[in-house]
Structure 1
Amino acid sequence: MNTGAQSIALGQDFTPQTVHYNLSVNELVNTSLARGEGVLASTGALRVVTGKYTGRSPKDKFIVDEPSVHNQIAWGEVNRPISQDCFENLYAQVRAYLENRELFIFDGFAGAHEKYRLPIRVINEYAWQNLFVHQLFIRPTEAELEAHKPEFTIIAAPGFQANPQTDGTNSEAFIICSFEKRLILIGGTHYAGEMKKSIFSVMNYFLPLKNTLPMHCSANIGKEDDVALFFGLSGTGKTTLSADPKRRLIGDDEHGWSADGIFNFEGGCYAKCIDLSAEKEPQIWNAIKYGTVLENVVLNPKTKVADYKDKSFTENTRAAYPLNHIDGAVIPSVAGHPKVVFFLTADAFGVLPPISKLTKEQAMDHFLSGYTSKVAGTERGITEPTATFSTCFGAPFLPLEPRVYAKMLGERISTYDTKVYLVNTGWSGGSYGVGKRMKLAYTRAMITAALNGSLEKENFKADPTFGVLIPEHVDGVPSEILTPRNTWENKEEFDKAAQDLAARFKENLKKFK
């Protein structure tokens, strides 16, 4: 399918060497190998190395300051403005860079629900990145492809580097969104996650206009059609905990909640691979096969077997694979209204309970707070867990004022009587460096109890510092770890750490009151 140079958003007089439209997985894998972009792992997955950039680069992300969006965007450290002139200048440079190059184009959708989906086009300099977006976004049917008209386009040219002194960027890398031109420019970084998250930010802008809540969460569904959502930043367990063999996966990262229920934005998963094992995460382990893109995973030079413990390239090793690599995944990935919502936090202080029940008011506070610890590798410069507040568990991707999203969530919790739990997947027995990370088996047991309703039958007590309700018993979990103070040898140090975190919560919430 060749619809001409004009349709690829690079202008009528643009003359690429070759344009490949909507290649198959097999064609993209073979092309990537032929071009030396990657190698096959022993499982058949395509392993690539992204070089200097192995995670998102938030300081290099910009929104074009245009008249139609100027009063809508919550400008600041997250949504950094860049002028229209700078954007046009970079666009011209990227366009010139791509002249006479081989290009790869993917046409598809963001959003599994036909009523709310966004038709997108992605133009790639590299075949492996085109495979990435093919696996991560919603793949159209042949009939849908024939009628496809992109409403937003990504142009990804990792080999082009900006000049900060003349181009208005902070480094050689840039991720720039123009809502007026419906165009995203990405350059200077080979990390494929920038494409995925750019479209997520776009959905976070447009969907509230359709009275639909965009969410940074994973989702799954049980045999009784009971839907659960898992909110959390990267590294808190969204992908791991939603990949439950006893439940069907809807999606691992991005969803919308409309009047019709929930729906996945994507057609694939982007799972962290560090310390991956078949025993702990069998669904993810088995999904890494032919057609999967492995980012920055170390392979044995002779056998090509992946060493998921090796952090030589980065701790943020990743696998991108389509949903159909997960047995029993819900396709198309749409479902009803959630019965249970989990807020996942990796508490580096080690003072939050491993699971606690929230009132609606507490839920709104914790949603606006979005407390967690950024884990090593997910962003440049993060080498150890760092306490942070990320509004709505997704501040880097929210173009609008955070209270817009919080209000929508509160309305849905009330309307559908959704239960909300705070789950600490972080540290127990001490803060980072002293305590240990919560055992995955215990977290799964607590999640299961919340999902099957048995947790609601337990006795609860209020945490004296945070006010959340802590269960006194959970099947399969040692009772002493349910109350975090019990796990610390030095109780005075625990009290001090808990008060410190509570004070941080209070200070952070002031800006929303």
Structure 2
Amino acid sequence: MAAGAGSTSVNEIAPILVARALGKGDAELTADGALSVRTGAFTGRSPKDKFIVRDALTEQSVWWDNSGAMSPAHFDVLLADAEAALAGQDLYRQDLLAGADPRHQYGVTVLTPSAWHALFIRNLLIRPGEMVASSDNPVAVTIVHVPHFKADPARHGSRTDTVIALDMTRNIVVIAGTLYAGEIKKSVFSLFNFHAPRQGVLPMHCSANLSANGETALFFGLSGTGKTTLSNDPNRPLIGDDEHGWSADGVFNLEGGCYAKTVKLSPSAEPEIFAATRRFGTVLENVVLDAHKVPDFDDVSLTENTRAAYPIHVLPSIARGSVGGTPRTVVFLTADAFGVLPPIARLTPEQAVYHFLSGYTAKVAGTERGVTEPQATFSACFGAPFMPLHPSVYGEMLAEKLRSSGASAWLINTGWTGGGYGVGKRIDIASTRRLLNAAIDGTLDGAATRVDELFGFEVPLAVEGVAPQLLTPRTTWADAEAYDRQAIHLAGLFRANFEKFGDANAAAGPRLAQAAE
């Protein structure tokens, strides 16, 4: 059905949405038929412009140090003004699902004046009737998307003319003043993160896949650590790319698609993701095209945060129903640009909670303006911007899940060895995959290990196919004393970051006193 002036197109499929976006001049086709779009001034999320309505439900439960507060009155005015701004426009409505477990499922209605945003969220959430079990009565969620509407701080209680406002009581979201599509996806995750613990479900910013015999593995990690790349393995069916719930019955995907980073995307190292960027209906965000409309994934002139959004079913190996059993393995990924951490370490349950709450990785020089040397980044639960409750809530839930499941926990460093960024080299992905496979297939369960004197975790002494010296970072440095200084520096950053969590689990962190001795 054609969209006329002031009409609403409901649940249009990809070919129609692509045609609408092209017709409005909001996008262009790549040489392979993907839809290329740009998001203007906002090429990433705006966490400081995110607000939660402060009411009886949220007053005592939300982690207000991490979330802006908006009054119910301000939200009501914002919602009314956003709806008024949409009046008379051609709109695109998508009725989708979030949560592959029908007992913990949301019915998400997204209303937007942008055809490509409608395609984006259609790619990323669950399309009813596609392989996933549906609830007869999912929790209703409404997202009002008005990307060109400018909020008024005095009238709406926002910080700027950009606002992402969530009413947790009514499950209504208003997104205004930004074209960055990731705000739509992450607002769903934020709602889930608030409500899921009340149902005994641990919400997780992680990837998940299955072994050949159906054992589930989880992959936590901040952007740039390899979470999407390492979980996309043709020999391990993918449950999901980014957001999951862990219930008493196992793991379920919150989404129906993938939102993969494409910076320096390699057809040899990441063939599944690369192939997905070449299909009709995939949305490429802020990817520069050459004169022949071919994506140049090495060109970061617009942003390092280039992305591809595509349905999960385009991947060659996915898990039936987007669900898996109770995890056997939990992996925390970090890209340590200081060159200190070993490429793999076994964690006790207490250490696992410590590293979960820490959520460590490191930015490298040149990735952001003003970053001239490695900088530690800590994001609680590997997703602090999307965690409305205090991290301790999720940490305590993870501790209980690890105790009851008996899952093993591992820290895998995909960063640097032989020195920090600019001196050492990035750990090669082939070695990382060997280490990862040895951890999740049980090969390392009885392996000989050493205890790291500073960080306290166990490090395997040998892994087949991996250079032995790689497992002991200090031996890869030309100057061992320089390694010691850098290691103590990083351990101090961990300790300083963890002070906000108090004494609980602090003993599972680095042992600075022992190092000094």
Contact 1:122 1:130 (8 Å CA) reproduced? yes
Q: Which residue of 2 aligns with 1:12?
A: none
TM-score normalised to structure 2 length: 0.92
2:284 matched to 1:294? yes
1:323 to 299, 312, 317: 312
Q: How many residue pairs align between the two structures?
A: 499
Residue-by-residue CA offset, 1:232-283 (whole Å, 9 max, x unaligned): 1122111100001211111110000101110000000000001111100011
User: Aligned partners of 2:366 and 2:100: how far apart in 1?
Assistant: 30
Alignment of 1:198-209 (within 5 A): 198-209=187-198
2:106 matched to 1:118? yes
Residue-by-residue CA offset, 1:158-185 (whole Å, 9 max, x unaligned): 1112234554322221111011232111
Contact 1:200 1:254 (8 Å CA) reproduced? yes
Q: Which residue of 2 aligns with 1:134?
A: 122
Greater Cα offset, 398-407 or 156-165: 156-165
Contact 2:251 2:326 (8 Å CA) reproduced? yes
One-letter amino acid matched to 1:326:
L
Q: Which residue of 2 aligns with 1:6?
A: none
1:34 to 23, 29, 32: 23
2:214 matched to 1:225? yes
Contact 2:102 2:133 (8 Å CA) reproduced? no
User: Aligned partners of 2:398 and 2:324: how far apart in 1?
Assistant: 17
Overall identity of the aligned pairs, in %: 49
| 1:377 CA displacement | 11
Contact 1:107 1:148 (8 Å CA) reproduced? no
Contact 1:218 1:252 (8 Å CA) reproduced? yes
User: Aligned partners of 1:390 and 1:286: how far apart in 2?
Assistant: 31
2:45 matched to 1:52? no
Per the alignment, do residues 375 and 36 of structure 1 end up closer, same or farther by CA in structure 2, a change over 3 Å counting? farther
User: Aligned partners of 1:172 and 1:37: how far apart in 2?
Assistant: 22
Q: Which residue of 1 aligns with 2:514?
A: none
| 1:481 CA displacement | 1.4
One-letter amino acid matched to 2:282:
T
User: Aligned partners of 2:442 and 2:223: how far apart in 1?
Assistant: 27
User: Aligned partners of 2:152 and 2:396: how far apart in 1?
Assistant: 41
User: Aligned partners of 2:134 and 2:26: how far apart in 1?
Assistant: 27
Greater Cα offset, 198-207 or 483-492: 483-492
| 1:448 CA displacement | 1.0
Contact 2:101 2:133 (8 Å CA) reproduced? no
Cα RMSD after superposing both structures: 2.4
SS of 1:115's partner is: helix
Q: Which residue of 1 aligns with 2:451?
A: 462
User: Aligned partners of 1:69 and 1:106: how far apart in 2?
Assistant: 28
One-letter amino acid matched to 2:77:
N
| 1:455 CA displacement | 2.1
Per the alignment, do residues 19 and 200 of structure 1 end up closer, same or farther by CA in structure 2, a change over 3 Å counting? same
Per the alignment, do residues 357 and 147 of structure 1 end up closer, same or farther by CA in structure 2, a change over 3 Å counting? closer
Gaps spanning 5+ residues in structure 1: where?
A: 2-14
Moved >6 Å (runs of 4+): 142-150, 375-384
2:73 matched to 1:85? yes
SS of 1:332's partner is: helix
Contact 1:56 1:378 (8 Å CA) reproduced? no
Greater Cα offset, 199-208 or 503-512: 503-512
Residue-by-residue CA offset, 1:103-138 (whole Å, 9 max, x unaligned): 101111110111111111111120000001101001
| 1:44 CA displacement | 1.3
Residue-by-residue CA offset, 1:24-56 (whole Å, 9 max, x unaligned): 111111111111111111221101011111111
Contact 1:316 1:377 (8 Å CA) reproduced? no
2:294 matched to 1:305? yes
User: Aligned partners of 1:376 and 1:219: how far apart in 2?
Assistant: 30
User: Aligned partners of 2:435 and 2:329: how far apart in 1?
Assistant: 13
Contact 2:208 2:240 (8 Å CA) reproduced? yes
Alignment of 1:490-505 (within 5 A): 490-505=479-494
